[in-house]
Structure 1
Amino acid sequence: MPSQRVVETYEIKGYTQGTTYSIKYYASKALIAEAEIEAILAELNQSLSVYHDTSLISQFNQSKRGVVLDKHLKKVVNEAQKVAKASNGAFDITVFPLVEAWGFLGKPKQSLPDSLTVKKILKNVGYQQLILKKDSLIKSNPAVKIDVNGIAQGYSVDILADFLEQRGIKRYIVEIGGELRMKGKKPDGSYPKIGIEAPNLQETAFQKIIIPKKGAITTSGSYRKFVETKGLKQTHLIDTKTGYSIKSKNISVTVYAKTAMLADAYDNVLMGMDVAEALHFLKKHPELEAFFIYQQQGLLKDTATTGFYKLLAP
Structure 2
Amino acid sequence: MREFNIHGYAQGTDYSIKYFAVDSLVTKSSVDSILAVIDASMSLYKPSTLINRFNASAHGLRLDPHMLKVLQKSFAIYEDTQGKFDVTVAPLVQAWGFGAKPILEFPDAALIKSILPCVGMPKIHLKGDSLYKDEPCLQVDLNGIAQGYSVDVVADYLLAMGITAFVVEIGGELRIKGPKPDGSAMRIGVEGPALGAGDEPVIRNVIQLNDGAVTTSGNYRKFVERGKKKVSHLINPKTGYPLDNELISVTLYAKDALTADGYDNAVMAMDVEEALRFVHARKGMEAYLVYHRKNGMVADTMTRGFRKMIITDVKNNPHE
Deviation at 1:227, TM superposition (A): 2.0
Q: Is the 1:102–1:109 Cα contact (8 Å) retained in structure 2?
A: yes
Pick one of 275, 279, 284 that aligns with 1:278: 275
* Distance in 2 of aligned mates of 1:130 and 1:84: 12
Deviation at 1:107, TM superposition (A): 2.8
Give yes or no for the alignment of 1:239 onto 2:218. no
Unpaired runs of at least 5, structure 2: 313-320
CA change 1:203–1:279 in 2 (3 A) is closer
Unpaired runs of at least 5, structure 1: 1-6
Q: Is the 2:193–2:200 Cα contact (8 Å) retained in structure 1?
A: no
Pick one of 74, 91, 102 that aligns with 2:96: 102
Give yes or no for the alignment of 1:85 onto 2:79. yes
- Secondary structure of 2:248's partner? strand
Deviation at 1:185, TM superposition (A): 2.6
Count of aligned positions = 308
Deviations 1:74-120 (A, max 9, x none): 00001001101111110000010001111112432112210100010
Deviation at 1:187, TM superposition (A): 4.3
In structure 2, the residue matched to 1:4 is: none
In structure 1, the residue matched to 2:261 is: 264
In structure 2, the residue matched to 1:308 is: 306
CA change 1:199–1:120 in 2 (3 A) is same
- Secondary structure of 1:205's partner? strand
In structure 2, the residue matched to 1:215 is: 212
RMSD: 1.5
In structure 2, the residue matched to 1:43 is: 37
Identity of aligned residues (%): 47
Deviation at 1:23, TM superposition (A): 1.1
Deviations 1:32-62 (A, max 9, x none): 2222111111100001111111111111001
CA change 1:204–1:283 in 2 (3 A) is closer
Q: Is the 1:234–1:244 Cα contact (8 Å) retained in structure 2?
A: no
Q: Is the 1:222–1:235 Cα contact (8 Å) retained in structure 2?
A: yes
| TM-score under structure 2 length normalisation | 0.93
Single out whichever of 245-254 and 223-232 deviates more from structure 2.
223-232
Q: Is the 2:193–2:199 Cα contact (8 Å) retained in structure 1?
A: no
* Distance in 2 of aligned mates of 1:23 and 1:166: 15
In structure 2, the residue matched to 1:33 is: 27
Pick one of 106, 114, 118 that aligns with 1:120: 114
